[in-house]
Structure 1
Amino acid sequence: MIEMNSFKDAVDKISNRFENSFLGKEAEKADVHSDDYDAPLAKEVNSAIKNKLDGLQREHDVEEELERQYPLEKGYSVISEAYLRNENGTIVKDTVTGEARRIDFVVAKDEKVVDSIEVTSKTADKTAQTAKELRIREAGGNYIRDYEGNLIEIPPEVHTRIERRD
């Protein structure tokens, strides 16, 4: 009778080959047993979460201000996260980035856009985003949909203003 324990598993042979390779020897030298090896990642994740929460708070504050400035009782509608669309209602994508553009807040009255607002931090660079929006507008992305699904035109004189907040 043959004893099975006298044979090495294929896995053992493969791992020995790795351990004896140049890469295996280099990996053995690497110090990966640090207690805080993932500390930079944890800081990055926490920072991203804080930025997201700060952004949501800024948007909430601006939305409340817009609703006071443009009351529903006077025929205004504050629309959030509105995609730029063409006259057929299709979302228009930027020819350079291939991306669409959502405006944080668009204010409409009498089926016309009267204000367009992008909310951001005091330090965020919006140059690329502004350029993308201009290209989309030039390509016919001059409409949005309201909450009832109606297509509303953005007049040429209405440009998205950047509202910077802490």
Structure 2
Amino acid sequence: MDAVRLIVTSRCALAASGDAPQILAEVWQAQALAQAIGSRLAVSGPPELRGEALGLTELAGRGCGVLDAPDLDPGDLRAAQLTELDDARHTLLCLGVLLAEVGIALVGLASAAADETTYWQCMEAIDAADESRDRVREMLRKLAAREEAALPETEVG
């Protein structure tokens, strides 16, 4: 399935999640998807993105690691459904929005946490999502610089 479609599905599922376990499951899914996208870009994306993409893979993996993995059927794991990543720029723009929404959901969850364990899980997951989003922004900056460099110079007369 196309990366952008999976991101949209994740955004909708996160928005529709109600209680803390559902939110945490969707956050985990979003981080796993970010990890898969980072991995795909690190292997077959534009060369100038590969280092940042590898960093995204590691950070998103950390985001998954601080949370309990949800009990999912193998077919329900969105990251495993990733088969296409045609437009790196569009994918990264959408992924940045998803990661921002993940951070917002986690802030809400942390502020309402009834126990310290959940609070600190959320705080660590917020850090991972923010750092992942920073990597996405850096990749977008590098893509913009590449596109700018590819433009022919025009003279102003």
TM tier, shorter chain?
Answer: under 0.3
Larger radius of gyration: 1
TM-score of the aligned structures, taking structure 1 as reference length: 0.24
Greater RCO, CA 8 A, separation 6+: 2
